[in-house]
Amino acid sequence: MLKVLKFGGTSVGTIESLRNVKAIVEGLPDPAIIVVSALGGLTDKLIATARSASEGKTDYVEEMVGIRKRHHDIISELIPEERKEHVFSEVDALLDSLEERYRGLSLIRILPERTLDEIVSFGERMSSVIVSGMLSEATHHNSLDFVKTEKWFSRNIADRKLTDELIRKQFCLPLNKHAVAGGFISTDRNTGEITNLGRGGSDYTAALIAAALNADLLEIWTDVDGFLTADPRIIKGASIIPSMSFVESMELCSFGAKVIYPPTIYPVFHKNIPIKILNTFNPTAPGTMISDAVPSKGKARGVSSLSNTSVITMSGSLTSNVAEINSRAYNAMARNGISVFLVAQPSIESSFSIAMPQADGEKALEQLRLEFSPELQSGELTDLAKTDNLSVIAVVGEGIKQSKGLGQNIVKELMSAGVSVKAISEGASDTTVAVVVDNGDVREGLNIVHELCFEKMLSEK
């Protein structure tokens, strides 16, 4: 059975957590592919130090002392004596190169994007060398050699065809030893310059490898026991979701659940490779299994939320033509790289609303005014109004629309508790029912909605 295991920053952040990683991997019955993030918190430090150095400050020297010591301490504690010299040599060479980049930035006083991409790559390049040296039987594989990207507008996206070919050449199956690679990092297919896969990139690297090799299972090892029915910091009665569908997991993550990054799911979803979410710090917990199987349709699987949302409401007779206004609004947002959370139905008639991150709200309003300028002049649209400081509360479950009246019941419960519902969306997706409330009401709203959707489950505890 071929597994790909991904360990995030918290899982490889300390000597103690790395011991857990070692025990988990060496306890596997078969060799596996291990994808690791940078040491916990290191990527943010690398970025902050780069910016400071580019401003001509010399505090990078002190920061490098701390970064060097952190990696040295881990090597001294975890790497067997017979491999210690080799690992020190590999990591020190990378640390020296990193310090050279900072020294250069302090002299030129600018921070080019490609230099920043190279600097943040050092985290995974070093952690993967350490983890491969820590394991009793493992080979190291440089992800810069086989994860290739191409430019799409201003973003680096994986060149799937080329990357798949290189992954299959890189990892010869069947494995006779564990194979360790750094996540997140990549190179441009045309220039060879170091790039990265962006937020959630280590998860995505693991998914790309699993899909290219037709792995049997992708395991994401993190610091939580799996997907929960809600954020346990807000909902004390939240419990583990044992199993869920790919679509449910994508929807929950899209609406704020930070267990896994949504694009991670796509490569394995298309290959029907299950994902298991597991806890490095509690490895005996059963976790959450994500697959194409739907445990039960028409039931809520989880509740999540997105704060700091803007809603733009368009009013006028044109809103009765839902297909046209929907298409044009979405296309206007897509052309400008603005993510639309949902299409909402506000309380007023003859209106249409869309929700997006508040940071994009002003830009979205400007683009919609341009798109619908003729209709605003003709009177087919009478108003475009933006409301900020809102939150979206989403209930996710395959076939959730089969729960007739769920949206109305949610609104009724919230309103009776004094929580004002600005809009509701229960028609665009068969998997999600969402309501929009004020930011200040999201905590109370989540508790009310979770209790309503999981009342039976809670009463049985």
Nearest C-alpha neighbor of 74 from the set 150, 9, 3, 18: 18
What's the gap between Cα 58 and its chain centre? 33
Cα distances from 442 to residues 181, 204, 309, in angstroms, run 40, 30, 12
| Cα atoms found within 13 Å of the Cα of residue 194, Cβ hemisphere only | 18
Specify the pTM: 0.89
pLDDT in tens, 65-115: 999 999 999 999 999 999 999 999 999 999 999 999 999 999 999 999 999
- Largest interatomic CA distance in the chain: 79
* Backbone dihedral region for residue 382 (phi beyond 0: left; psi -120 to 50: alpha; all else: beta): alpha
8 A C-beta contact, residue 259 and residue 201: no
pLDDT digits over 365-390, tens only? 999 999 999 999 999 999 999 999 99
- In whole angstroms, give the CA distance from residue 379 to residue 314: 12
Residue 282: partners with Cβ closer than 8 Å, 6 or more residues away: 225
pLDDT tens across 173-222, in order?
Answer: 999 999 999 999 999 999 999 999 987 899 999 999 999 999 999 999 99
Q: What are the tens digits of pLDDT across the range 276-299? A: 999 999 999 999 999 998 777 888
